[in-house]
Amino acid sequence: MTKQLRIALAGNANVGKSAIFNQLTGLNQVVGNWPGKTVERAEGTLHYKGFTIHIIDLPGTYSLSAFSLEEIVTRDYIAIEKPDLIINVVDASALERNLYLTLQLLELEAPMIVALNQIDLAAKKGVKINTEKLSDALGIPVVPTVAITGSGINELLSKVIAVINGEEKINPLKVHYGSEVEERISKLQNLIEEKIPQICQVYPSRWIAIKLLERDEDVTGKLKNYKQGKKVIKEAEKLATELEEIHGEASPVVIASERYAIASKIAKEATIIETPPKISIEQKLDAITTHNILGYPILVVIILSIFTLIFIGGASLSEILDSFLRTLSTYIETLLLNYMPSGIAELINNGLIGGLIAGITIALPYVVPF
Ligand SMILES: Nc1nc2c(ncn2[C@@H]2O[C@H](COP(=O)(O)OP(=O)(O)OP(=O)(O)O)[C@@H](O)[C@H]2O)c(=O)[nH]1
Ligand SMILES: [Mg+2]
């Protein structure tokens, strides 16, 4: 019998989750809605190395707070349905922003690997990610991919199986906040484990504690269903207020800023900014002369310069030629007078040679510079 696996794709909006999903599942897809929600749910199946893998394409989210349906659908699927593995699709060209969600997925304590997607777009921006460093910092495998070409997809699948089979060990990063926050998380965590152990079967107790300090209405609502829930909520309220008094900011803001700082540090350490490829002089000139607005005045200036050059250059050349040819004409006239009557010599000289000189001195000097 083939072994069944459930894998969920999670990540920010527009990072390429569906592109990876399509690469993995091909036409084996079913698209519908999440039960009772207007959020799209896409599922697909693939067979790989003796596994039947069910893949679910989770909605795009920037956070796992309870601000939108997408966020609640994503976190509840991960916590309640407990897929065997999460593939967190990360946009390599916006690492810091994407890692903010990665840290929250890690806080849900689900086994996870990262598909570092859109590395082609990152490279175009001159950004390269040191996948090894990123993987070390997060404690989970990171596989570079370009979903639209299928590059890295096989490696991603191999990594999924390696983690599932235990051949590749993961040691997910524990997100640590400042001491004031940590103290209160652990107080609350102990209280939750003591008072509502049932809920800890679904959500990690540390995650509930963090969410309560973030004043998450969805989690608060869930706790109200338990007998001892109100006691925990009251304590959480007290601890969140203390945090606010220490930091002078709303408790959710304190936690979000600390999380951002961690995401930013990891992103900076793993990012290699490469100087963008050198642009040649020809490319620069081409860019300026074909510019939508600048191109027109540049064209006018160039045409005017050409005309000025032709007229100034032509006029000087015309003067030089004229004086040379007139001297020549006088010489020819003297020469002709030796052989023919003066009337005919004058006619030839003024009519024929004079005409030729006029033609040459007026037209030629302007044609040559042109
Ligand atoms: N250049 C490049 N484009 C990509 C890559 N992956 C996805 N895209 C493009 O990025 C856009 C978004 O991709 P999707 O797969 O729809 O992203 P998503 O994460 O499913 O987005 P949501 O469903 O809105 O959350 C599409 O135009 C893709 O063709 C990649 O690796 N490189
Ligand atoms: Mg999608």
Q: Is 148 in the pocket of ligand 1 (CB under 6 A)?
A: yes
Give, using CA atoms, the residue closest to atom 28 of ligand 1.
Answer: 16
Q: What's the rounded mean pLDDT across residues 113-132?
A: 96
What is the predicted pLDDT for the residue at 80?
Answer: 95
Please, are residues 223 and 229 in contact by the beta-carbon 8 Å criterion? yes
- Distance CA(146)–CA(150), nearest Å, equals 6
Any atom of ligand 1 within 6 Å of the Cβ of 45? no
Pocket test for ligand 1, best of 9, 12, 14 (most atoms within 8 A of CB): 14
| Ligand 1 close to Cβ of residue 123 (< 6 A) | no
| 259-290 b/e (C-beta count within 10 Å ≥ 16 → b) | beebbeebbeebbeeeeeeeeeeeeeeeeeee
Q: Is 117 in the pocket of ligand 1 (CB under 6 A)?
A: yes
For residues 248-273, give the mean pLDDT.
Answer: 96
- Which residues hold their Cβ within 5 A of ligand 2, which is an ion? 17-18
Per-residue pLDDT, averaged over 144-158, amounts to 98
Is the shortest distance between the CB of 19 and ligand 1 below 6 Å? yes
Intrachain domains 3-164 and 179-273 with the same fold: no
**147 CB near ligand 1 (under 6 Å):** yes
- How does pLDDT run across 176-229, given as a tens digit for each residue? 999 999 999 999 999 999 999 999 999 999 999 999 999 999 999 999 999 999
What is residue 275's predicted lDDT score, i.e. its pLDDT?
67
pLDDT computed for residue 276 by the predictor = 63
**Beta-sheet pairing, 29-33 with 40-48:** antiparallel
As a whole number of angstroms, the distance between CA 302 and CA 75 comes to 63
Task: Confirm or reject: Cβ of 61 under 6 Å from ligand 1.
Answer: no
Residue 95 phi/psi, 5-degree rounding, is: -60, -50
CA 10 to centroid of ligand 2, rounded, Å: 10
What does the mean pLDDT of the chain come to?
Answer: 92
CATH number of 179-273, picked from 3.30.70.870, 3.30.2350.10, 2.30.31.70, 1.10.287.1770: 1.10.287.1770
Instruction: Centre a 10 Å sphere on the Cβ of residue 39 and count the other Cβ atoms it contains.
Output: 15
C-beta neighbour count of 330 within 10 angstroms: 11
Q: Provide the CB-side half-sphere exposure for 165 (13 A, CA).
A: 12
**CB distance 156 to ligand 1 below 6 Å:** no
The domain ranges of the chain are 3-164, 179-273, 281-367
| pLDDT tens string 268-322 | 999 998 766 667 788 888 888 888 888 888 888 888 988 888 888 778 888 887 7
Label residue 70 left, alpha or beta by phi (over 0 means left) and psi (-120 to 50 means alpha): alpha
> Residue 302's pLDDT is what?
87
Mean pLDDT value across residues 325-346: 80
| CATH for 3-164 (3.40.50.300, 3.20.20.20, 3.30.2130.30, 3.40.50.720) | 3.40.50.300
Which ligand minimizes its atom distance to the CA of 42?
Answer: 2
Per-residue confidence (pLDDT) for residue 34, from 0 to 100: 87
351-369 in b/e burial notation, b at 16+ Cβ within 10 A?
eebbeebeeebeeebeeee
| Whether residue 368 has pLDDT greater than 80 | no
Task: Tell which atom from ligand 1 comes closest to the C-alpha of 21.
Answer: 15
Give the model's confidence band at 96: pLDDT under 50 very low, under 70 low, under 90 confident, else very high. very high
Mean local confidence (pLDDT), 151-168: 97
